[in-house]
Structure 1
Amino acid sequence: MTFELGPALLFCPADRPERFRKAQDRADAIILDLEDAVLPEAKAVARRNVIDADIDAERVIVRVNAPGTEAFTADLDALAETDFRTVMVAKTESAECLDAFDERYSLIALCETARGIHAADRIAAHPLVTAMMWGAEDLVASLGGTSSRNAEGGYRDIARYARARVLLESGAHGKAAIDAVHIDIDDAEGLQREAMDAAASGFHATACIHPNQVSAIRAAYRPDDGAVTWARAVLAAAATERGVFRFEGRMIDEPVLRHARSVVTRVS
């Protein structure tokens, strides 16, 4: 089973059912959030909203509460009454905690604590995991910190490490990687910069918290015309060459061809 949703994954609070259909129409997939976006007293209603949701199940991800909590158990009971089978597991901290799910489910392990990042290799190896995501704010909070970003708006080193580790472990185990949300909704330039870096680094998708962020993420993951033209041309040239060859003044070997195939894949 592979993860094929993206590149723009939009969170939507599960206690706001009036937003479900519009959010799904705006994004590539909707993440119905039963965790942080929903107050404890509203979670029961939110679960009922998920059960009653009349939207395309193929483009729905449900974020459940952290394993080991009462809310997690209740979330699983609610999921069993739906057709939704792609589940984002908040605060995943071990591979073993994912054994609560059976083979009907495709899991996105959200590693957003020190323990989760530390265990990312073992989590990525779990057979039900098809994608990994990381989270900056909960990570820093788990370490006793106060902010994931510096005064210039960039991620602190610990967040950069977590982001890289999740990406590397995802790739090492053949799973997709999803980049964290950009919480400053008005910072369009910062979002664009981070989404472009995510796409170039190998992330499969980026999560977002507002519909206005969707277009910037899609644009960042869509190669420009020049890149597509070059990629198709170099792949065509490779069909008649053997081994390493020269193309438009550049040495071309298999890693470069893999980059070109990735570019073409994103527009196919």
Structure 2
Amino acid sequence: MGPALLFCPGDRPDRFQKAADRADAVILDLEDAVGPDAKDAAREAVVGARLDAARTIVRVSAASTEGFDADLAAVAASRFRTVMLAKAESVDEVDWVLAAVPDARVVVLCETARGVLAAEALVAHDAVVGIMWGAEDLVASLGGTSSRDETGAYRDVAAHARSRILLAAGAYGVTAVDAIRTDIADLAGAHAEAVDAAASGFGAKAAIHPNHVEPYRQAFAPTDDELELARRILAAALQNPGVFSFEGRMVDEPILRHARSVVERASTTTNGSTR
């Protein structure tokens, strides 16, 4: 699913293939990126799209909105089966997705207070394969005006939501997707935020502009030194069962798990592309 996911407006089929070529997966958006008058055209474009289904996600409108059923009907008529459920708040909503698209793989997008509090229940659903959070909608749902402070760092409530989403994903073994970064021009900031996401355990990060794809990929790919060290640690573990000393540091199971994670990330990121 990652590491770089790129949103593309559903009413811009001329951009579909370009977005898919630039990113590891494309999210065809039937929700916020599409104006009310363009919804029907966007659904038709999704039905007619011939992108790689394994690398395509369709974001549908929130279950509480008028367009939810029409969005799901479009997905059912398309070749795509990975559905991102906007503003997910309950397990019932996941079941409604499955009622319309029985073989759907669902990524729940928690971007309201109710959705964040329901994260654990949502990821426990068998059809849920991923969970993402949204900072701006979340803070707006609380009556706030900005998810970040004057330094650009997340405010405490947004950071708490981010951590809760990641913990829920880890507890149930689904992919955690980090939120978009709205500052399109700040490539250094995008890279730094993705470095933190990868180091913390997120499996992917979403982007609203293709310029963020490469910083994300670079952040999720381990450096040559990190990969070499991880491989040396794992090789040493084969000769040293249990806890052992390696190059001046103690190595136990958590360190081995970190090393395995580095090697796994390297295997899924090759020359800016993923499996």
TM-score w.r.t. the length of structure 1 is 0.97
How many Å separate the matches in 1 of 2:218 and 2:64? 38
> What amino acid is aligned across from residue 73 of structure 1 in structure 2?
D
Deviates more, 1:118-127 or 1:132-141: 118-127
Map 1:36-185 to 2 at 5 A: 36-102=32-98, 103-185=102-184
| Deviation (angstroms), 1:80 | 1.1
How many Å separate the matches in 2 of 1:63 and 1:209? 13
Output one character per residue of 1:111-144: Cα deviation in whole Å (capped at 9) or x when no partner: 0000000111111111110000000000000000
The number of residues matched between the two structures is 264
> What amino acid is aligned across from residue 233 of structure 1 in structure 2?
R
> What amino acid is aligned across from residue 211 of structure 1 in structure 2?
P
How many Å separate the matches in 1 of 2:222 and 2:110? 28
Who is 1:208 aligned against? 207
How many Å separate the matches in 2 of 1:87 and 1:58? 12
CA contact (8 A) 2:233 2:246 kept: yes
How many Å separate the matches in 2 of 1:141 and 1:121? 22
| Deviation (angstroms), 1:101 | 2.6
How many Å separate the matches in 2 of 1:180 and 1:242? 39
Deviates more, 1:82-91 or 1:68-77: 68-77
Gap regions ≥5 residues in structure 1: none
Residue 10 of structure 1 pairs with residue 9 of structure 2: no
TM-score w.r.t. the length of structure 2 is 0.95
How many Å separate the matches in 2 of 1:98 and 1:229? 42
Who is 2:197 aligned against? 198
How many Å separate the matches in 2 of 1:217 and 1:111? 21
CA contact (8 A) 2:17 2:51 kept: yes
CA contact (8 A) 2:29 2:59 kept: yes
Gap regions ≥5 residues in structure 2: 268-275
Quote the sequence identity (%). 59
Who is 1:23 aligned against? 19
The DSSP-based 3-state class of the residue aligned with 1:54 is coil
| Deviation (angstroms), 1:191 | 0.7
The DSSP-based 3-state class of the residue aligned with 1:207 is strand
Aligned-residue RMSD, C-alpha: 0.7
CA contact (8 A) 2:187 2:211 kept: no
Output one character per residue of 1:151-194: Cα deviation in whole Å (capped at 9) or x when no partner: 11111000000000000001001111000001100111111110
